[in-house]
Structure 1
């Protein structure tokens, strides 16, 4: 996978050959395009799922299994106002923006100025600048800006000390709004939950483990049997000779489809803690 900005006169060079952008323009997504060597690549429409696979890693990122779970449990729908800290590489932010589109908005903050600037450039490149606003702010130390008090539908925290930002998050959320904190260590989860109890209810923690299977087509030589498989082997093919008699041919090749777990499985990524803002009378 590679993210490419297509422009007239440019080329993509890789081990499969040279691909001219001019031959891509006007073709529908999903098309197969060929190189000077006769090899090919597919032109795919940019999506948050594909962007997660090709973006530049400025930080550790969230992947599809965690992202989809976060969007569901934060109840993000078109029109939602979402706050995020920190932005990182923008993997989750991209999916949050699509879920809140076209009338919602994501305000994301990172304390690292250069990282925020790089993320801003990425959102401009992927056409999300109208849905995402990137700010530079230390949310752990300063909290979220006061302009969002009581306005946010959902908040996502990816911070080393999320418990320091929970009181600020509670002020930003409307009543019944939801917050999610992502932490790689269970000790972070325990301390966050202690603080969450003051402002939130329905506190839950999940660990999402995804197991992917490979689907491949293979071939297998059958065992030679008596021609009808009565001895437990697969039937062998027969051919008729010129004298009218039948003889067993060489073992036939059997095609089959095989499903097996991937040899490289992604294990623990982090713990997702969700909570709902309670109404304090």
Structure 2
């Protein structure tokens, strides 16, 4: 389960129990979630691992298989859960999630409304951000997706922080019980502008809205509604003050990952005598390589280069703040 107890925030101080969810780490691009159960085995290319042997081990442990292969047992943080969850819909990844939580000013004790639960990637991080006294109310129009998301939150120990409901927010809006109570609202909808009148009613004064849209046309339409449709005489009043939407901004978050590698380089004495400077040639060397009779010398160097495969555009994040005139 995700650790929300401040006294157990350090995963190395927590031990694995029967029934716990564990993230099995083989390498950076090969990880999966496994539920620990006595009498069962986990099998991969490194061999067979007995799950009963994991019980009592601290998170972060390295465990061996029957063939001598090894894996690491990691605590299921929201970041790792995002990488292993079932993709029922397109999900938000770490770059967008961290930006959203920061810009929405989500802190412990906040009440957050979310429409478009999907696979629950963002919801899981929102739950950690509002813990231990806040709550996330998330809505999805698809009943089966909502049920699967609810099961995931129960499995991750987040049921006390997240409530999943089936509701068409575009057509019905958010429930009236949250009127004026939300610190933040997040929308992941095909037509977010249809939900904006309801969002205006839900937000507290100085509350923040975020709308995630993959297409710029969706952003343009939403911004038109935000700038022109929130000063009409029918808006909710706070005392004698009229609500206004301010500070409308749109961002695209792009993440570039680099690979750090240690390589052995060879240079010859002739290279150092060149009037234009040394010309290095790269050769795959082993740790046992030595200078040869041709006068070549080897040196270890660390290189950093962009990963060949990286995620590009995911979507546009539009933020707006509710204020009063």
For 1:25 and 1:4, the matched residues in 2 are separated by: 13
Matched, 1:264 2:301: no
Q: Secondary structure, in 3 states, of the residue corresponding to 1:19?
A: strand
The one of 69, 72, 92 aligned to 1:39: 69
Which residue number corresponds to residue 239 of structure 1? none
Which residue number corresponds to residue 202 of structure 1? 247
Q: Secondary structure, in 3 states, of the residue corresponding to 1:57?
A: coil
For 1:116 and 1:74, the matched residues in 2 are separated by: 24
The one of 219, 227, 237 aligned to 2:264: 219
For 2:122 and 2:46, the matched residues in 1 are separated by: 32
For 2:264 and 2:273, the matched residues in 1 are separated by: 22
The alpha-carbon deviation at position 253 of structure 1 amounts to: 3.0
For 1:256 and 1:24, the matched residues in 2 are separated by: 38
> Where does structure 2 lack aligned partners over 5 or more consecutive residues?
1-30, 231-243, 280-291
The alpha-carbon deviation at position 178 of structure 1 amounts to: 0.3
1:80-132 per-residue CA deviation (whole Å, 9 max, x = no partner) reads 00000010000000000000011000000000000000000000011111100
> Where does structure 1 lack aligned partners over 5 or more consecutive residues?
235-246
**Pairs within 5 Å for 1:62-77:** 62-77=92-107
For 1:177 and 1:88, the matched residues in 2 are separated by: 24
Q: What is the aligned length?
A: 267
Matched, 1:170 2:200: yes
The alpha-carbon deviation at position 251 of structure 1 amounts to: 3.0
For 2:273 and 2:295, the matched residues in 1 are separated by: 18
Which residue number corresponds to residue 136 of structure 1? 166
For 1:233 and 1:135, the matched residues in 2 are separated by: 66
Residues 248, 319 of structure 2: 8 Å contact kept = yes
Matched, 1:155 2:185: yes
Per the normalisation by structure 2, the TM-score is: 0.79
Structure number with greater Rg is: 1
Which residue number corresponds to residue 48 of structure 1? 78
The alpha-carbon deviation at position 31 of structure 1 amounts to: 1.1
For 1:250 and 1:133, the matched residues in 2 are separated by: 70
Which residue number corresponds to residue 117 of structure 1? 147
1:201-250 per-residue CA deviation (whole Å, 9 max, x = no partner) reads 11000000111101111222x22216x9455449xxxxxxxxxxxx9576
Q: Secondary structure, in 3 states, of the residue corresponding to 2:312?
A: coil
For 1:192 and 1:53, the matched residues in 2 are separated by: 30
For 1:190 and 1:34, the matched residues in 2 are separated by: 54
Deviation above 6 Å: which 4+ runs of structure 1? none
Which residue number corresponds to residue 216 of structure 2? 186
Q: Secondary structure, in 3 states, of the residue corresponding to 1:18?
A: strand
For 2:264 and 2:65, the matched residues in 1 are separated by: 30
For 1:115 and 1:12, the matched residues in 2 are separated by: 28
Which residue number corresponds to residue 88 of structure 2? 58
Residues 192, 222 of structure 2: 8 Å contact kept = yes
Task: Select between 157-166 and 37-46 the one with higher mean Cα deviation.
Answer: 37-46
